Amino acid sequence: MSDKDDLRKYSSEVIDGVEAAPARAMLRAVGFTDEDFTKPQIGIASTWAMVTPCNMHIDKLALEAEKGANAAGAKGVVFNTITISDGIANGTEGMKYSLVSREVIADSIETVVGCEGFDGLVTVGGCDKNMPGCLIGMARLNRPSIFVYGGTIRPGAGHTDIISVFEAVGQHARGDINEIQVKQIEEVAIPGPGSCGGMYTANTMASAIEAMGMSLPGSSSQDAVGSDKVSDSFRAGQQVMELLKLDLKPRDIMTRQAFENAIRVVIALAGSTNAVLHLLAMAHAVDVELTLDDFVELGKISPVVADLRPSGKYMMSELVAIGGIQPLMKRMLAAGMLHGDVMTVTGKTLAENLADVADYTDGQDVILPFDQPIKKDSHLVVLRGNLSPTGAVAKITGKEGLRFEGKARVYHGEEGALAGILNGEVQPGEVIVIRYEGPKGGPGMREMLSPTSAVMGKGLGKDVALITDGRFSGGSHGFVVGHITPEAFEGGPIALVEDGDRITIDAETREITVDVSDAVLAERKARWVRPQSKYRRGVLAKYAKTVSSASEGAVTDKYL
């Protein structure tokens, strides 16, 4: 038996022996040769599609990964999974499919690899649900695997990006700019391929995955267009062959300590609240115990040091230009903030990977020193109280203030809230409540990017708060609280709030409360009737039946 045969644990079951002649016949039609049947097979999961600029270039990156696998002596096989675009669907009914797509991606990768018998796997993702979806699929399969990030988009003219366009809608409603000016921003903000350009969810999750050790060093901090990303993809294909030889699999890398590293890097970068949802789901896939309380405890000792959009000044491409997240991670390791002995897809520990990384050059102010942080502890604040007994997640950098108190302005769904913001119904001093947007109630837990962008565009960012059982885009900023659990559809307290109720959000005490007595809430609960979902068939209906709470990652196999 050759060394290669030892590496063909799964493919040999599919294509070896006389009885597998039909399988080999099928594979010959797609280009396999006699020699290819003796090689380990590496699946290359591509999220390419022309539905979004985040993924429009990924077909070429997948082909580079295939070349890398072939050059290393394996047989690379490219297959596709889906992607959707939050940026396109936001504010519409279609956005209900966004978080659902994470599960579809994970399920489809597991299905193809499990069926076809690939021995290893490279996944290439761009738009934000791609990444946790890819990692969940890889974790379930537990075969030698590497994730490749498709890369960040470059800034549009005038330092614009997709959030500039969303906020222009609010500026137009306020009367600050006219329709022609909105169109001018629209025309230049997205100059080509790549994921949304701030520390929004895509760049957040790419950084978390690199910090976790599941992508090659530097993968998260590269422009989508350029030789670095091409090389990253090729090397990933090569490296999976090395992982096969080492028998190094996702569960060997995605340990409790690796998740702690990912959380602390996300905090340092002022990353998206969606990271909480996705990291909980990824941990579930590898049976690592991770809860909202872990984000609280790690948050107490983790400073925010990146001045990145949406709350900061710079875009991801500007972090790329100064060296990406590797120098930051080296600083964090030296300060005792990271576990250096965790294994990574290089076959080396995190500390070994960082040993020769150079620090940032003097004069940059994208990443601040630890003794001069933007916030001394985490911007991801887990809140509890009589409005969210099982936890909610706020994104509070301190620039919005640390406490907000105001009267509730209640909306059943995103559309009504957006209209209320744009038409002037929402007034300074109010807390906008958007409910029935949770995982079950939406269904699908839509992002509230359109309402939060309208708030900022209308100049209300410091004057109102917004809370929801839905979630937020990584591009959302302001005094916002999402993932309120239990959600309204489950009869959680957010379902019982009425216009005029006084709500208090305190980031320092980590409390979110409504000034209504337990007795009154109980009386309202007795009168509450769960609304009927209009989705009785199809993927959204299945999702609503199987999805867990946002406080548990909104996974669909929690209770199986």
Asked if residue 395 lies in contact with residue 507, where contact means CB atoms within 8 angstroms, the answer is: no
Q: Which of 168, 191, 214 is the last residue of a domain?
A: 191
Whether the predicted pLDDT of 131 surpasses 70: yes
pLDDT digits (tens, 9 = 90+) for 415-438: 999 999 999 999 999 999 999 999
Assess whether 186 and 246 both reside in one domain.
Answer: no
Paired strand residues for 479: 465
4-8, 253-257, 448-452, 480-484: range with lowest mean pLDDT: 4-8
Residues 248 and 111 grouped into a single domain: yes
Which residue is associated with the tokens 């004057």? 463
User: What is the reported pLDDT for 22?
Assistant: 98
Based on the fold, state whether residues 313 and 413 are members of the same structural domain. no
Instruction: Please tell me whether residues 182 and 206 are part of one structural domain.
Output: no
Residue 305 has pLDDT above 60, yes or no: yes
Asked if residue 203 and residue 183 are part of one domain, the reply reads no
How would you classify the pairing of strands 479-482 and 388-395?
A: antiparallel
* Residue 320 sits in the same domain as residue 445: no
Counting the structural domains of the chain, the total is 3
Residues 145, 165 within the same domain? no
Among 473, 548, 549, 551, which one carries the catalytic annotation? 473
Distance, in Å, from the CA atom of 390 to the CA atom of 28, rounded to the nearest integer, reads 54
CATH number of the domain where residue 199 is located: 3.40.50.2300
Q: What's the rounded Cα separation, in Å, for the pair 491 and 522?
A: 11
148: helix, coil or strand? strand
Which tokens hold the place of 349? 């520990």
Check whether residue 442 and residue 299 sit in a common domain: no
Residue 3 reports pLDDT greater than 70: no
Same-domain pairing of 116 and 180: no
Residue with the two structure tokens 């119904």: 425
Going by pLDDT thresholds of 50, 70 and 90, the confidence category of residue 1 is: very low
Q: pLDDT of 174-228, one tens digit each? A: 899 999 999 999 999 999 999 999 999 999 999 999 999 999 999 999 999 999 9
Q: Rounded to an integer, what is the distance from CA 337 to the centroid of its chain?
A: 22
Which amino acid is located at 116 in the chain?
E
d(Cα 202, Cα 476) in Å, to the nearest integer?
13
CA distances from 354 to 81, 156, 237, 276 (A): 33, 32, 22, 25
Question: What are the Cα distances from residue 513, in Å, to 373, 379, 468, 477?
Answer: 29, 19, 13, 21
For 513-539, the pLDDT digits (tens) are 999 999 999 999 999 999 999 899 999
Amino acid identity, position 322: I
C-alpha separations of 285 from 113, 221, 250, 304, 459 in Å: 16, 25, 10, 28, 41
- Of 251, 34, 255, 14, nearest in space to 119 by CA: 14
Residue 34 lies in a domain: no
Contact 451, 418 (CB under 8 A): yes
Is 316 part of any domain?
A: yes
Do the domain assignments include residue 438? yes
- Ramachandran class of 336: left when φ > 0, alpha when ψ lies in -120 to 50, beta otherwise: left
Tell me how far apart the alpha carbons of residues 8 and 144 are, in angstroms, rounded to a whole number.
Answer: 12
**pLDDT tens by residue, 136-168:** 999 999 999 999 999 999 999 999 999 999 999
In a shared domain, residues 281 and 315: yes
pLDDT, position 2:
53
DSSP 8-state class, residue 471? B
Taking all residues of the chain, what is their mean pLDDT, rounded to a whole number? Answer: 96
Residues 424, 487, single domain; the answer is yes
Phi, psi of 182 (to 5 degrees): -60, -45
Token look-up 């941990």 returns 283
- For residue 560, pLDDT over 90 is answered with no
Q: Which residues contact 517 (CB under 8 A, 6 or more apart)?
A: none
The CATH number for 537's domain is: 3.50.30.80
| 148 beta partners | 124
CA 131 – CA 552 distance, rounded (Å): 18
Q: Decide: 202 and 274 in contact? Cβ < 8 Å.
A: no
> Contact at 8 Å (CB) between 101 and 82?
yes
Question: In which element (H, E) is residue 98 found?
Answer: helix 98-116
Q: How far apart are the first and last CA of the chain?
A: 40
Mean pLDDT of 352-359: 98
Q: Is 473 a catalytic residue?
A: yes
Same domain, 179 and 216: no
What is the CA 210 to chain-centroid distance, rounded? 13
- Give residue 245's domain range: 40-154+194-354
Phi, psi torsion values for 25, nearest 5 degrees:
-60, -45
Q: Is 197:154 a contact under the CB 8 Å cutoff?
A: yes
